[in-house]
Structure 1
Amino acid sequence: MTRLSNDPAAFADEALEGFVAAHPRRVRQVPGGVVRATRTAPGQVAVVVGGGSGHYPAFSGLVGQGLAHGAAVGNVFASPSAHQVRQVARAAETGGGVLLAYGNYAGDVLHFGQAAELLTAEGIPARTLGVTDDMSSASPDEAHKRRGVAGDLVVFKAAAAAAEAGQPLDQVTRIAELANARTRSFGVAFSGCTLPGADHPLFTVPEGRMAVGLGIHGEPGMGERPVPTADEAAELLVSTVLGELPEGVEAPRGQRAAVILNGLGSVKYEELFVVYRRVAQLLADAGVEAVDPEVGELVTSFDMAGVSLTLCWLTDELEPLWTAPADAPAYRKGTVDPADLVVPDPSAETAEDTVPPATDESREAARTVLAALRVLKDTVDVHADELGRIDAVAGDGDHGIGMRRGSTGAYEAAVRAETLGAGAETLLQRAADAWADRAGGTSGALWGVILRAVGTALGDTARPTAAEVASGVAQASAGVRELGGAEVGDKTMVDVLVPFSYALTAATRAGQPLATAWDTAAHSASAAAEATADLLPRMGRARPHAEKSLGTPDAGAHSLALIVRAVHGVFVPTLENH
């Protein structure tokens, strides 16, 4: 388990602070993550990678000459927010555009995609690439749904070396896509991982058993089998990875491959070498030549006891990129040309100490909204453990933690905004940004959309009506579906948000005051949340374990229903204008 921490909520921030202090010649901290401490040639494409904390050396440890130009760093097992990605990309970019590369997880897809749109809109060309190397997480026919695991390193390395060689953005993106298409990974584990401050792992493996095809966020494996010897583990890893050749590779014999034997957190290096001894023999027997193999911890999962094998089938174009020199805190190869250190601009802090003007009526409404956010936060605090248990049935068990981070961040930002005299819209926008930044992940992005949409409907100039509140919820419902791609029946928060919005709109149109209309809609939300127990998930981290979730409601749907029920009592005549 993770034994050394202070406040678990501050773990990721404190780890990043210590990491930067330990590597001042290679990285420097910027809002949202880290960038190279050394100068980058003007006009060079910036390769910005990222994901949640808890996977070191991914992602911050891979920033440096010859590798990534920057890393957006989210909270523990949670993607960075679009705002964080955008900030890191701006700090890393030198005029050649940005490739945003990340593991293919729903939260990362949402946040990095949003960041790319924002960057492009402000004149910085941006592309995205989600790494999909994990064979166990989807079939070959649905390879686009696969997760990104240790293959991240191969893809990041190829893209960054191409950028370092002066390739333009479209070429760097094409090379990253080629490396991704030719990379396969498969992993096993003997125990789950324990998050900072937790007293039990996210999943457990029975004594004498091994989980096969697990995820790096604590997602349980796709199956189990008896614990093997080191040689038997190597044989399973090699036979599985060789069992699915990418397009263009007819047979293993005669091929050259980048090979990574990756430790997931608590398997000792000597154990990895024992396994790799047999991996190397098996690859040689199959006629595969390993090129610059890597054995060690490269993409981890806290204290998970596990190991994965990655092969990237090299081409004449990819091989020199894989072997090119690099100098990052956690990955060094060859010798890079020395570069000058950047002298940081000590200017702007991101603290927002002013707010747009607002009327007294809107400020009064903002105080009611603040009270609702306080109730929301308290509700999440009470139910966080329960939400984590529900999420752990088929997912990674972090929904309660993420909701607690997000709701706390939103409430704290709202308190600051109210103190500055913000109206309802500004207060909710500040809360939305803080929720997305603090929570990250899919739920962080979606709750950011919800709060922002409601805030836009309320405005900063008048006392909101019940109809305007209902309109804001309707816009939130549409925004969540557009951003996340889920619809009713997919076993997500949408299964609650849509009926809640419909019921609220119908009740307000019928002339009910907000408190009454909200109460009516909250009953619809509770019933809808319970009904998700009978659904199979079709999206997100729970999808590979769909059958395990039958009989259990969706964690996101359940948390939304709890929240709308709890805040009902806050809505008094302050928000109504009849």
Structure 2
Amino acid sequence: RGLALSHPDHVAVVHGGVVRATQTPQGQPALVIGGGSGHYPAFAGWVGPGMAHGAPCGNVFASPSASQVYSVARNAENGGGVVLGFGNYAGDVLHFGAAAEKLRAEGIDVRIIRVSDDIVSNTPENHRDRRGIAGDLPVFKIAGAAIEAGADLDTAERIAWKANDATRSFGVAFDGCTLPGASEPLFHVEDGQMGVGLGIHGEPGVRDEAIGTADEIASLLVQGVLAEQPERTDGGYQGRAAVIVNGLGTVKYEELFVVYAKAAELLETAGITPVRPEVGEFITSLDMAGLSLSLVFLDDELEQHWLAPVDTPAFHRGAMPALDRPRRETFWEAGADETPQATEESRRVAEQVSDALALFERVCAREEAELGRIDAIAGDGDHGQGMAYGSKGAAA
């Protein structure tokens, strides 16, 4: 609500998140991006001309529900179909997928893009099965620019996947972040060590090693990403790359600039030209101490859309052409349709459902700590909290 009040020309609040304050042009595909909160400016900060049309916002580090995704998509869609974009995490895959099924059942064409840029989370052969981290920024920026330039739904989907397949990210963490209300960080990194291969929800790295200087960390990240540099071809990639150095919350701009200075030097040595580099906080993780490097190996088409203007609360570039897009006065809301009268049979079923949900709520509350402990072994440790919140809400 505060975001919308401070950026009234960009966004408006609807159930589940935010949409553009102006109507999506008739027939234009709607790019709806989202995930858990705690990552600002991702994802609500990227809603505006040249990028997203809407963003469902889940709880901190938790996927938005299917109803949130559905509501935002219904408010953003205007006859051109929907592209749903999110990082490749289990909860997002589940809930965005369920929303897509409901939208499709109502005759709306929906395409799904799962960003998967994190090189440590799977093999190069399984790039689309990796998790999404800071690569969300260039993938959604490029897809949004393509839509602004007139791409239809098929073209927008193709370009979004092309951007994802050209994007590689690698990061390190110096300490974990703490969920609001929790007494301990989700993970710790020992003094003098760094976690290599961080996740953006507090997932620990794949290994710990001695912390290096800024130059040494830059070298580690550049070498890791360039290990998957594609071959240079006529009409394709020719050594030009979008470059993003992303801070996760407590590593601030001065330090990020020091890392980028070395990274730029190493890229030049490797014969790579940075194209409109971005250094700053783009996908944060509350107060997490960490940073990542992302490269998008550009061809002419991707570069055109990477450089295109964009105007959102948290990401600006160039000047958008003057467009006469009216402000929205009405929004779709759930429950507006008439509900039929209940029958005796439906009341009996409702009582059974209510009893089952109440039992589920009690079990999840009792086992919250254990579910979180199990999840923390390989994930971010918030599964118990998510199940407790979700079951309580369902029972209510």
Query: Conserved in 2, the CA contact under 8 Å of 1:85 and 1:111?
Result: yes
Matched residues in 2 for 1:290 and 1:138: separation?
26
SS of aligned partner of 1:291: strand
1:209 alignment partner AA: Q
1:241 alignment partner AA: V
**Deviation by residue 1:268-318 (Cα, 9 ceiling, x = unmatched):** 111101111111111111111111100001111111100000000111111
Matched residues in 2 for 1:33 and 1:265: separation?
22
CA-CA distance at 1:365 after TM superposition? 5.9
Residue equivalent to 2:330: 345
Residue equivalent to 1:126: 110
CA-CA distance at 1:105 after TM superposition? 1.1
**1:390 pairs with 2:374:** yes
**1:194 pairs with 2:178:** yes
Assess, with a 3 A threshold, how the Cα gap between structure 1 residues 297 and 407 changes in structure 2: closer, same or farther: same
Query: How high is the TM-score relative to the length of structure 2?
Result: 0.94
Residue equivalent to 1:327: 311
Find 1:290's aligned residue among 263, 268, 274.
Answer: 274
Residue equivalent to 1:227: 211
1:196 alignment partner AA: P
Query: Conserved in 2, the CA contact under 8 Å of 1:45 and 1:166?
Result: no
**1:240 pairs with 2:199:** no
CA-CA distance at 1:80 after TM superposition? 1.6
Assess, with a 3 A threshold, how the Cα gap between structure 1 residues 132 and 406 changes in structure 2: closer, same or farther: same
Residue equivalent to 1:108: 92
SS of aligned partner of 2:263: helix
**Deviation by residue 1:382-427 (Cα, 9 ceiling, x = unmatched):** 3212221221122210111111111110111xxxxxxxxxxxxxxx
Matched residues in 2 for 1:120 and 1:162: separation?
23
Assess, with a 3 A threshold, how the Cα gap between structure 1 residues 43 and 247 changes in structure 2: closer, same or farther: farther
Query: Conserved in 2, the CA contact under 8 Å of 1:189 and 1:306?
Result: yes
Find 2:295's aligned residue among 311, 317, 326.
Answer: 311
> Which moves more between the two structures, 369-378 or 285-294?
369-378
Matched residues in 2 for 1:409 and 1:262: separation?
35
SS of aligned partner of 2:367: helix
> Which moves more between the two structures, 108-117 or 296-305?
108-117
1:287 alignment partner AA: G
**1:261 pairs with 2:233:** no
Q: How does 1:355-366 map to 2 (within 5 A)?
A: 356-359=341-344, 363=347, 366=350
1:207 alignment partner AA: D
SS of aligned partner of 1:199: coil
Find 1:375's aligned residue among 346, 351, 359.
Answer: 359
**Deviation by residue 1:206-236 (Cα, 9 ceiling, x = unmatched):** 1110000011111111001111111111111
SS of aligned partner of 1:99: strand
Matched residues in 2 for 1:31 and 1:19: separation?
14
Residue equivalent to 2:156: 172
CA-CA distance at 1:31 after TM superposition? 1.4
1:382 alignment partner AA: R
Matched residues in 2 for 1:185 and 1:347: separation?
37
Query: How high is the TM-score relative to the length of structure 1?
Result: 0.65
Query: Conserved in 2, the CA contact under 8 Å of 1:25 and 1:341?
Result: no
Assess, with a 3 A threshold, how the Cα gap between structure 1 residues 402 and 120 changes in structure 2: closer, same or farther: same
Structure number with greater Rg is 1
**Deviation by residue 1:63-84 (Cα, 9 ceiling, x = unmatched):** 1111111112112112122222
RMSD (CA atoms): 2.1
CA-CA distance at 1:123 after TM superposition? 1.8
Query: Conserved in 1, the CA contact under 8 Å of 2:71 and 2:334?
Result: no
> Which moves more between the two structures, 255-264 or 378-387?
378-387
2:217 alignment partner AA: A
Residue equivalent to 2:70: 86
Assess, with a 3 A threshold, how the Cα gap between structure 1 residues 236 and 346 changes in structure 2: closer, same or farther: closer
Q: 1 or 2 for the larger relative contact order (CA 8 Å, sep ≥6)?
A: 2
Assess, with a 3 A threshold, how the Cα gap between structure 1 residues 374 and 121 changes in structure 2: closer, same or farther: closer
Matched residues in 2 for 1:137 and 1:231: separation?
24
Matched residues in 1 for 2:128 and 2:144: separation?
22
Residue equivalent to 2:169: 185
Find 2:202's aligned residue among 204, 218, 236.
Answer: 218
Matched residues in 2 for 1:167 and 1:99: separation?
12
Matched residues in 2 for 1:331 and 1:183: separation?
19
Query: Conserved in 1, the CA contact under 8 Å of 2:173 and 2:194?
Result: yes
Matched residues in 1 for 2:338 and 2:179: separation?
34
Assess, with a 3 A threshold, how the Cα gap between structure 1 residues 97 and 375 changes in structure 2: closer, same or farther: closer
Structure 1 gaps, min length 5: 1-16, 413-578
Matched residues in 2 for 1:174 and 1:357: separation?
46
Query: Conserved in 2, the CA contact under 8 Å of 1:70 and 1:92?
Result: yes
Matched residues in 1 for 2:376 and 2:101: separation?
33
Residue equivalent to 1:204: 188
> Which moves more between the two structures, 74-83 or 208-217?
74-83
Assess, with a 3 A threshold, how the Cα gap between structure 1 residues 347 and 146 changes in structure 2: closer, same or farther: closer
CA-CA distance at 1:85 after TM superposition? 1.4
**1:137 pairs with 2:117:** no
2:161 alignment partner AA: E
Query: Conserved in 2, the CA contact under 8 Å of 1:254 and 1:287?
Result: no
Query: Conserved in 1, the CA contact under 8 Å of 2:127 and 2:165?
Result: no
CA-CA distance at 1:254 after TM superposition? 5.2
**Identity within the alignment, %:** 58
2:118 alignment partner AA: D
Query: Conserved in 2, the CA contact under 8 Å of 1:254 and 1:289?
Result: no
SS of aligned partner of 1:390: helix
Query: Conserved in 1, the CA contact under 8 Å of 2:75 and 2:331?
Result: no
CA-CA distance at 1:41 after TM superposition? 2.4
Find 1:336's aligned residue among 312, 320, 336.
Answer: 320
Residue equivalent to 1:66: 50
Matched residues in 1 for 2:314 and 2:238: separation?
31
**1:95 pairs with 2:95:** no
SS of aligned partner of 1:393: helix
Structure having the larger proportion of residues in helix: 1
Work out the number of aligned pairs and report it: 394
Matched residues in 1 for 2:230 and 2:71: separation?
36
Structure 2 gaps, min length 5: none
